[in-house]
């Protein structure tokens, strides 16, 4: 497969294909950083893919006390879904079940001024059973919901922005340990403001294709073209002979540029960490309107 060489790493002449998504940013705070992180970790669970989880979510970054609305340690979380209604439903469910339930937390809108919003505190307030109270601070309304150790403070609504989902990079090497080490280096480099890596550790071993060859009921099935163990069994394999393991990193971002630059960072980090082959997954341009050719990522970040 033609492409270019980055150091000793072959980079395929292909592109990652991504599609429009909607997203919300939640700022979760608590008395300690560990409790804020625990709430964020819980709220982003079971959120690897819209195919089975209905949303994709990940921790964006940790926040110092000076960077949060209430002056406490915090964590920023990004949650993506296919439309505003999907974002709203998942945000309400996850904040209600995973953040409000966590000791000492509060939850704030991380996209103030967004054109569209979904009702968060305005919905969760009914848990207060008539004992809830509202408070307006600097023109923004919050709800104080009584709980057993005090009050849960939550923004009345959260903004919904336009993002990009499904950017990706596929990292290959001679064996599993080498491929995983390179993928981990790439995932670490990709993290940053505006980036969500929704899979465990940012890495997915079970890359998929749309539909299935043997079943009309499957929305997705194993990407047989990138499975090294199937190389000799399929005519359309994309796995080079010297590659024994491949991992995919899926990137959601708040903009096309954010996804592109995350891919650039990941590509160069994987090459430095020992990847022998780098490629990307696409669906012939039929699935998403955003295309990220690997040839455009040749220059270092």
Give residue 1's pLDDT: 53
- Statement: residue 168 has pLDDT above 60: yes
Structure tokens at 108: 């704030």
Task: State how far the Cα of 87 lies from the Cα of 23, in Å rounded to an integer.
Answer: 6
Give residue 217's pLDDT: 82
> What mean pLDDT do residues 57-76 have?
97
DSSP symbol at 201: G
Alpha-helical runs (H) found in 144-222: 176-190
0.85 exceeded by the pTM? yes
Q: Which residue has the tokens 């012939």?
A: 284
Long-range (24+ apart) CB contacts under 8 A made by 210-215 are 210/283, 210/287
Give residue 138's pLDDT: 85
Task: State how far the Cα of 78 lies from the Cα of 46, in Å rounded to an integer.
Answer: 14
- Statement: residue 254 has pLDDT above 60: yes
Give residue 263's pLDDT: 98
Q: Looking only at Cα atoms, what is the longest distance across the chain?
A: 66
Residue-by-residue DSSP string for 8-75: TEEEES-EEEEEEEEEEEEEEE-SSHHHHHHHHHHHTSS-S-HHHHSSEEEEEEEE-GGGSTTSS-EE
Nearest to 60 by CA among 203, 251, 205: 251
Structure tokens at 38: 């625990």
Q: What is the mean pLDDT of the chain?
A: 96
Q: Collapsing DSSP states into helix, strand and coil, what is residue 207?
A: coil
At 219, the pLDDT band (50, 70, 90 cuts) reads: confident
14-29 per-position pLDDT tens digit: 999 999 999 999 999 9
At 12, the pLDDT band (50, 70, 90 cuts) reads: very high
- Statement: residue 280 has pLDDT above 70: yes
- Statement: residue 283 has pLDDT above 90: no
Task: State how far the Cα of 23 lies from the Cα of 79, in Å rounded to an integer.
Answer: 5
* Strand bridging mode 277-279 / 9-12: parallel
Task: State how far the Cα of 212 lies from the Cα of 222, in Å rounded to an integer.
Answer: 8
> What mean pLDDT do residues 270-292 have?
94
Three state DSSP letters for 214-267: CCCCCCEEECHHHCHHHCCCCCCCCCCCCCCEEEEEEEEECCHHHHHHHHHHHH
On whether the CB atoms of residues 56 and 253 are closer than 8 A, the answer is: no
Give residue 218's pLDDT: 85
> What mean pLDDT do residues 237-262 have?
97
174-216 per-position pLDDT tens digit: 999 999 999 999 999 999 999 999 999 999 999 998 888 888 7
Structure tokens at 252: 């959601």
Give residue 148's pLDDT: 98
Structure tokens at 275: 């990847």
On whether the CB atoms of residues 186 and 139 are closer than 8 A, the answer is: no
On whether the CB atoms of residues 204 and 247 are closer than 8 A, the answer is: yes
Q: Collapsing DSSP states into helix, strand and coil, what is residue 161?
A: strand
Task: State how far the Cα of 288 lies from the Cα of 67, in Å rounded to an integer.
Answer: 35
Task: State how far the Cα of 272 lies from the Cα of 254, in Å rounded to an integer.
Answer: 27
119-156 per-position pLDDT tens digit: 999 999 999 999 999 999 888 999 999 999 999 999 99
Q: Which domains does the chain have, with CATH numbers?
A: 3-18+163-297 (3.30.70.520), 22-161 (3.30.70.520)
Give residue 284's pLDDT: 84
Give residue 186's pLDDT: 98
Backbone dihedral angles phi then psi of residue 168, each to the nearest 5 degrees: -160, 160
């Amino acid at each position: 497969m033609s492409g270019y060489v980055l150091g000793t790493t072959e980079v395929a002449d292909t592109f990652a294909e991504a599609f429009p998504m909607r997203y919300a940013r939640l700022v979760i705070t608590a008395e300690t950083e560990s409790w804020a992180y625990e709430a964020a970790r819980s709220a982003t669970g079971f959120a690897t893919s819209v195919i089975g989880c209905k949303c994709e979510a990940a921790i964006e970054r940790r926040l110092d006390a000076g960077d949060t609305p209430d002056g406490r340690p915090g964590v920023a979380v990004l949650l993506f879904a296919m439309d505003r209604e999907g974002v709203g439903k998942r945000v309400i469910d996850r904040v209600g079940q995973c953040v409000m339930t966590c000791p000492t937390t509060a939850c704030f809108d991380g996209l103030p001024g967004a054109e569209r919003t979904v009702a968060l505190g305005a919905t969760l307030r009914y848990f207060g059973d008539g004992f809830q109270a509202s408070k307006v601070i600097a023109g923004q309304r919050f709800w104080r919901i009584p709980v057993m150790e005090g009050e849960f403070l939550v923004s009345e609504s959260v903004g919904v922005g336009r993002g990009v989902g499904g950017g990706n990079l596929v990292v290959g090497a001679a064996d599993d340990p080498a491929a995983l080490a390179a993928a981990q280096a790439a995932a670490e480099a990709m993290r940053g403001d505006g980036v969500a890596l929704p899979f465990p550790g940012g890495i997915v071993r079970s890359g998929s294709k749309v539909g299935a060859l043997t079943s009309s009921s499957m929305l997705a099935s194993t990407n047989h073209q990138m499975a090294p163990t199937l190389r000799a069994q399929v005519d359309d394999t994309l796995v080079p002979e010297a590659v024994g393991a491949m991992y995919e990193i899926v990137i959601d971002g708040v903009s096309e540029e954010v996804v592109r630059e995350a891919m650039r960072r990941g590509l160069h980090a994987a090459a430095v960490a020992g990847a022998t082959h780098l490629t990307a997954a696409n669906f012939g341009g039929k699935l998403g309107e955003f295309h990220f050719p690997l040839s455009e990522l040749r220059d270092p970040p």
